[in-house]
């Protein structure tokens, strides 16, 4: 099963992220990776949780509007140029990634970092194929257990 990313639009004001974090914490849900951006009076919180289905359920029950999409989780070497080991093959194939953000801590070896890549559904399948062809480890639901 692919990794699921949850996206919530929040008001750009103090306490909004804390409220979401508190709801997840009180329900035993851990945030594995997250990305926050703001524009004007709104903010966007994209995150991967260890139990995405439960996270969606509890947040919807609290009135949050949720969007869920499939993202790519992959490992990259954790040294200078490591990120390019992912980006260079994608560049060669003319594939664009919409955004990238790291996992907070994902239990891999000391020599790797786990990244979340967002791409359009069409590009997603092509990106997965290129990563696998270049021996880049792609994580699926095992990410939730690391």
Domains of the chain: 3-69 (3.30.2130.10), 70-145 (3.30.2130.10)
**Taking 80 as the threshold, does the pLDDT of residue 107 lie above it?**
no
The DSSP line for the chain is --EEEEEEEEESSTTHHHHHHHHHHHTT--EEEEEEEEETTEEEEEEEESSHHHHHHHHHHTT--EEEEEEEEEEEESSTTTTHHHHHHHHHTT---SEEEEBS-----TTEEEEEEE--HHHHHHHHHHHHHTT--EE-GGGGG-
pLDDT digits (tens, 9 = 90+) for 33-44: 999 999 999 999
pLDDT digits (tens, 9 = 90+) for 123-143: 999 999 999 999 999 999 888
């Amino acid at each position: 099963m692919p990794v699921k990313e949850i996206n919530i639009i929040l008001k750009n004001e103090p306490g909004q992220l804390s409220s979401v974090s508190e709801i997840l914490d009180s329900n035993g849900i851990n945030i594995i990776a997250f990305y926050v951006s703001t524009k004007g009076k709104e903010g966007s919180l994209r995150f991967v949780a260890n139990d995405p289905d439960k996270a969606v359920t509890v947040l919807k029950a609290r009135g949050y509007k949720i969007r869920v999409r499939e993202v790519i989780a992959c490992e990259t070497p954790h040294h200078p140029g490591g990120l390019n080991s992912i980006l260079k093959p994608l560049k060669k194939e003319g594939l664009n990634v919409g955004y990238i953000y790291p996992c907070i801590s994902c239990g891999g070896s000391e020599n790797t970092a786990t990244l979340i890549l967002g791409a359009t559904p069409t590009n997603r399948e092509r990106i997965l194929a290129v990563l696998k062809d270049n021996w880049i480890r792609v994580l699926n639901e095992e990410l939730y257990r690391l």
